[in-house]
Chains A and B, each alone.
Chain A
Amino acid sequence: MTTFLHILWFKNLMFWKVPSQRDTGTIIRNVGSFVVFGSFAVGAFYFSHFLTAFLLEEVKIGLFLFHRFIGMLLFVFFVTINLGNMVVSFSTLYRTPEVQFLLTTPVSYLNIFVIKFLDNFFYSSGTLFMVGFSVLLGYGFYFDLPWHFYPVMMFGVLVPFMFLAACIAVIVLLLVMKLAARVNFRILIAAVVVAYIGQVYLYFTVTSPVHLVREVMKYYPNVDLYFGSLDPAGVRYLPNFWVSEIMYFYVAGNTSAVLGYAVMLAASTVGAFLIALSIAAGSYYDTWITSLSIKSLTMKALTLKDRFFSFGRSSSLSAPVEVLLKKELWQFVREPMQWIHFVVMMGLLVIFLSSVSTLNIRLESAYLKAVVYLVIFIFNIFLINSLALRFAFPMISLEGNAYWSLRSSPVPAEQVYRIKFLLVMTILGVLSMVIALLSNVPYLFIHHIVGEKPWLVERVVPSSQVRVLAYCSIIITPIVTMTLVSLNFAFGSIYANYSEKNPIRIASSQGATMTFLLSVVYLVYLLGVYYFAATMLFTAEIRKLPVDWTVLQIVMGAIIVPSVIITGVVHTLGIRSLRRDLT
């Protein structure tokens, strides 16, 4: 324990050390980070307050549905933290030089495991705590909840909830690494990917949000009542359900129910942590040894294509462009953390798109239609932003310490910047178009269910107003994608860290967090502006009015002009950063 506290103390010292660099650029960046983080906290508070008021007072979905939606969001949040922790834990527990160093000292394997696990958890969760607390404040202020709601929710619910996700992640990782000694690692990774995609699919199939809304709305206006009988049995054992129940019963004033669920959550978290410790005590070192044998994991199928993308093979591209592209390709496919994460994200994307493209939208209110449409739209954009943050932001940093080879070569920094940006932009641009087209399928070919029998489907030609909205979304999606990819890529250049090899740690660094927050500000602006177009077009559809082209032009202009300006500004800053002294 003394050794553990000793290491923790020095880690704490390192964390609070003021950076030695005090040049103007660093000071501006730090002040900028502080302003962005602070503004985002305030923004998250108002957004949460506004959204709660809007859904309960304008859309009138009722307390029960509102908290069930919170539960669904928490499920996504839980899976995200869980997956993120698993991938980052692989790197921190098995790949860091610090672990190698600690293994040469008399520190016990369990202590090393706990130190790195906590390091990992707090490193990747700091911003989420801040955002979570701001959202809780907005929610609590709306319901005028007592002061004790905030510390109880923060430390008794949110932190254990996130810690539980991290514990489960590390348990799965330890088991996978343990099995890797006997089973092919690639098969294990494939099994984990399939299991995660399967559980997300299963959750949304079982909870069926559309069915839930229909059932609850039958009781309108008494939608604040508790409709617990509609909850599928299996869902009741999930931690996201417990948290949403705690929030519901806090608002309803049912203290015993709050306590009951809070105890379940705390007990599960402690239990999961103890299980992780017991597995680690017996096998962390063995799994670390196993990790050495799977160090150079490469897909066998890719070796066949080695010849096609070989550096020795001629191509019609100019020599610098060709070698830069080939280098990017091989760095990506030979780094398991890159392609595994990409495959997982693509799997989740396929599930989302297959659900959205067959969505049955049969709502009477223009507001509700606009809200549903914008939720899908913003989710698409959010997805693109997540891909940009994860894959575009680290691109410059991943040059790593070998960046000297590019900087001392005759290839101009601008060209390197342009090639890398165009590469990531092309891939994410194509993906964004697929997302935009598929998610607008219901608005281009609406499916109506006739009668009570779901297999009797009638294809109805959508109204011209709705089609206009779908086309507008398809037009602005590539522009918004360009802005988001530019923002993430350029800030990845501004906050480049050449000494960090792990792309996931780069994508969750302070600079990445700030970029994410700036992207969210842009997304909120986008949502606010696009709301006018969506409500105008759905109102026009219901009232059979012509499309107001002036409103539409203003909205499109208000999206396109700032997007282009942001793109230009961030690229100028990004290229300038690339010319900095390479220390």
Chain B
Amino acid sequence: MIELRNLHKTFGSFVAVDDISLSIPAGEFFGFLGPNGAGKTTTIKMMTGLFTPTSGQILINGYDVVKQPQQAKATFGYIPDHPYLYDKLTGREFIYYMGGLYGMEKNDLRENVERVIDLLELAGWVDKKTEDYSQGMRQRVTFAAAFVHRPKTIIIDEPMVGLDPRSARIVKDSLSQQAKQGCSIFMSTHILEMAEELCDRIGIINKSKIIFLDTKENLHLHKTKYDGNLESVFLELTKEQTE
């Protein structure tokens, strides 16, 4: 479960995130859309503890990310937009490393490492050093590392960067499976079709404010107003704000 309360972030005089409030219950797949520079990544970085909010509150599975960072972080898995890994470790070592950081017991970790390697179909190359990986391979290892400790919440920033169609399908299936198992998922993406396919609810952010927040069903009602496709809704909403 994720709850953002009046979240605000400024860098000097620039307002990156302006008074965002959201609530994502357990088992919901939430899509976070918006044009470049709208504040998506800043919001995610605040949720994952990489940025400190200027004001407001972030609760993940009941824990305040600022006041109880360790407890909060123990409950979620994070997949960043740029899947940087430690070049000198193999994919398998990186997954073990991440499991260790979440304090997993060794036998449990071994089982789960094998589980995520199977789930993301990494077996063919997971024992090579990550410096030799393509962008897509790095992305899949990052997903595996985020799933290894069986998180209650998954936070993803642009999941499809560099993925070929087969990898994209593997990732989409694995995410759907996590959501069905009761995991709340917060996903930022540029790919409108993906949001439409996977998400239960969609939020659109523009110029640091939430300008649209509704269920997929209600979004379909909006779509009928604009040529029947999501792209037109997105373009119209963000255009209105710009004007």
B84 & A320 in contact (Cβ 8 Å cutoff): no
Q: Cβ of A405: which chain B residues have Cβ within 8 Å of it?
A: 85, 94, 97-98, 101, 145
Beyond A327-B89, A404-B50, whether A296 also contacts B131 by CB under 8 A is yes
Beyond A319-B103, A400-B84, A409-B98, whether A311 also contacts B12 by CB under 8 A is no
B89 & A23 in contact (Cβ 8 Å cutoff): no
A319 nearest CB across to chain B (Å): 4
Q: Is A412 interfacial (CB 8 A cutoff)?
A: yes
Q: Is A361 interfacial (CB 8 A cutoff)?
A: no
B78 & A410 in contact (Cβ 8 Å cutoff): no
Q: Cβ of A22: which chain B residues have Cβ within 8 Å of it?
A: 12
Task: Kindly supply a per-residue 1/0 record for chain A positions 542-583, scoring 1 wherever the CB is within 8 Å of any chain B CB and 0 otherwise.
Answer: 000000000000000000000000000000000000010110
Nearest residue (CB) in B for A409 is: B101
Nearest residue (CB) in B for A320 is: B101
Nearest residue (CB) in B for A405 is: B98
Which of the residues A23, A327, A401, A404 comes within 8 Å of B78, measured between beta carbons?
A404
Stretch at the interface among A60-68, A73-81, A83-91, A328-336: A328-336
B98 & A410 in contact (Cβ 8 Å cutoff): no
Q: Cβ of B132: which chain A residues have Cβ within 8 Å of it?
A: 296
> Which residues of A (292-314) have their CB < 8 Å from a CB of B?
295-296, 311-312, 314
B57 nearest CB across to chain A (Å): 18
Q: Cβ of A402: which chain B residues have Cβ within 8 Å of it?
A: 84-86
CA distance A471 to B78 in the complex (A): 53
Beyond A581-B50, A582-B45, A582-B50, whether A311 also contacts B98 by CB under 8 A is no
Q: Cβ of B109: which chain A residues have Cβ within 8 Å of it?
A: 319
B73 & A404 in contact (Cβ 8 Å cutoff): no
Which of the residues A327, A331, A410, A501 comes within 8 Å of B103, measured between beta carbons?
A410
**Residue among A323, A327, A335, A501 with most chain B CB within 10 A:** A323
Q: Is A205 interfacial (CB 8 A cutoff)?
A: no
Secondary structure of the A side of the interface? loop
Nearest residue (CB) in B for A334 is: B88
A386 nearest CB across to chain B (Å): 24
> Which residues of B (157-187) have their CB < 8 Å from a CB of A?
none
Q: Is B71 interfacial (CB 8 A cutoff)?
A: yes
CA distance A272 to B70 in the complex (A): 57
CA distance A582 to B42 in the complex (A): 10
B52 & A330 in contact (Cβ 8 Å cutoff): no
Interface size class of B (residues with CB under 8 A): 35 or more
Nearest residue (CB) in A for B84 is: A401
Q: Cβ of B49: which chain A residues have Cβ within 8 Å of it?
A: 407-408
CA distance A406 to B73 in the complex (A): 10
Q: Is B125 interfacial (CB 8 A cutoff)?
A: no
Which of the residues B71, B80, B86, B93 comes within 8 Å of A400, measured between beta carbons?
B86
Q: Is A541 interfacial (CB 8 A cutoff)?
A: no
Task: Kindly supply a per-residue 1/0 record for chain A positions 199-221, scoring 1 wherever the CB is within 8 Å of any chain B CB and 0 otherwise.
Answer: 00000000000000000000000
Nearest residue (CB) in A for B42 is: A581
Which of the residues B70, B71, B82, B88 comes within 8 Å of A401, measured between beta carbons?
B82
CA distance A409 to B109 in the complex (A): 16
Q: Cβ of B69: which chain A residues have Cβ within 8 Å of it?
A: 410, 412
A323 & B84 in contact (Cβ 8 Å cutoff): no
Which of the residues A320, A404, A407, A581 comes within 8 Å of B100, measured between beta carbons?
A320
Q: Cβ of A320: which chain B residues have Cβ within 8 Å of it?
A: 100-101, 103
Interface size class of A (residues with CB under 8 A): 35 or more
**Residue among B71, B78, B86, B102 with most chain A CB within 10 A:** B86
Nearest residue (CB) in A for B88 is: A334
B88 & A330 in contact (Cβ 8 Å cutoff): yes
Which of the residues A314, A326, A582 comes within 8 Å of B51, measured between beta carbons?
A582
Q: Is B110 interfacial (CB 8 A cutoff)?
A: yes
Q: Is B190 interfacial (CB 8 A cutoff)?
A: no
Nearest residue (CB) in A for B96 is: A311
CA distance A379 to B71 in the complex (A): 48
CA distance A506 to B69 in the complex (A): 30
Q: Is A346 interfacial (CB 8 A cutoff)?
A: no
Task: Kindly supply a per-residue 1/0 record for chain A positions 320-357, scoring 1 wherever the CB is within 8 Å of any chain B CB and 0 otherwise.
Answer: 10111011001100110000000000000000000000
> Which residues of B (6-41) have their CB < 8 Å from a CB of A?
12
CA distance A501 to B45 in the complex (A): 23
B92 & A311 in contact (Cβ 8 Å cutoff): yes
Q: Is A430 interfacial (CB 8 A cutoff)?
A: no
Q: Is B74 interfacial (CB 8 A cutoff)?
A: yes
Which of the residues A311, A335, A404, A412 comes within 8 Å of B88, measured between beta carbons?
A335
Task: Kindly supply a per-residue 1/0 record for chain B positions 102-117, scoring 1 wherever the CB is within 8 Å of any chain A CB and 0 otherwise.
Answer: 1111100110010000
Q: Cβ of A581: which chain B residues have Cβ within 8 Å of it?
A: 45, 50-52
A501 & B87 in contact (Cβ 8 Å cutoff): yes
Which of the residues B51, B80, B88, B102 comes within 8 Å of A331, measured between beta carbons?
B88
CA distance A457 to B89 in the complex (A): 54
B97 & A327 in contact (Cβ 8 Å cutoff): yes
Q: Is B150 interfacial (CB 8 A cutoff)?
A: no
Which of the residues B87, B88, B101 comes within 8 Å of A411, measured between beta carbons?
B101
Nearest residue (CB) in B for A499 is: B84
CA distance A404 to B138 in the complex (A): 14
A410 & B96 in contact (Cβ 8 Å cutoff): no
Q: Is B139 interfacial (CB 8 A cutoff)?
A: no
Instruction: Provide a sorted-by-A list of 24 A–B residue pairs whose CB atoms are within 8 angstroms.
Output: A23-B12, A311-B92, A318-B103, A319-B99, A319-B102, A323-B100, A323-B101, A324-B101, A326-B93, A327-B86, A330-B93, A331-B86, A335-B88, A400-B86, A402-B84, A404-B48, A404-B50, A404-B84, A405-B101, A407-B50, A408-B48, A408-B49, A411-B70, A412-B69
Question: What 14 additional pairs, Cβ within 8 angstroms, besides A311-B96, A320-B100?
Answer: A23-B12, A296-B129, A296-B131, A312-B110, A319-B105, A323-B99, A324-B100, A324-B101, A326-B93, A326-B97, A334-B88, A334-B129, A412-B69, A579-B52
Q: Which residues of A contact B (CB under 8 A)?
A: 22-23, 295-296, 311-312, 314, 318-320, 322-324, 326-327, 330-331, 334-335, 400-402, 404-412, 501, 579, 581-582
Report, nearest first, the 7 A-B pairs whose CB atoms are least far apart: A323-B100, A311-B96, A401-B84, A334-B88, A409-B101, A410-B74, A410-B73
